[in-house]
Amino acid sequence: MIRDRSVNILNKLMLIVLIGAAIIVGGIGVTYVVFVQPKVYTVTLSKFGYGEVSFYPEGGYLMAKQVNSGTKITIKAIPDPGFKFIGWTGDYTGTQDQVDITVDKNMRITGVFVPE
């Protein structure tokens, strides 16, 4: 009788503590909670030529940023007068001056500017 009550209590009792992300796996009378810390990656920006590259909307001269895996970031390039932005190289390539990127690894990205 006591065993039956404790199994019933286990079926109804669940304690959830969130640290990062939790994966909950249940069975008959048993619940396992496995805590998974999200991976943290570093995105480093640099430039070649004359212009500014930055994380948007932060702006400024922040050249490296740590974010959790799966985070979407925006990077932006603004050429100095007399120069034009021609694209991104490194772990992201493209020619748009402002782009959204989903981070799934450490990344090094360079904005390239050339004279007009």
Contact assessment for residue 76 and residue 56, using Cβ atoms and an 8 Å cutoff: yes
**Is 52 in the same domain as 82?**
yes
Is-contact 16 33, C-beta < 8 A?
yes
Give the confidence band of 30 by pLDDT, cuts at 50, 70, 90. low
Say yes or no: 45 and 71 in one domain: yes
Q: How far apart are CA 83 and CA 94, in angstroms?
A: 18
Place of tokens 């004359």: 50
Q: What is the pTM of this model?
A: 0.69
Query: Based on the domain organization, do 29 and 48 belong to the same domain?
Result: no
The tokens describing 86, both together, are: 């021609």
Domain membership of residue 16 as a residue range = 2-36
Domain match, 25 and 56 both: no
Q: Do 98 and 51 share a structural domain?
A: yes
Tens digit of pLDDT for each residue in 52-107?
999 987 777 778 999 999 999 999 999 999 999 999 999 999 999 999 999 999 99
Residues 49 and 32 in one domain: no
DSSP symbols for 64-90: EEEEETT-EEEEEEEEPTTEEEEEEEE
pLDDT in tens, 7-21: 444 444 444 444 445
| Helix spans in 1-116 (H) | 2-12
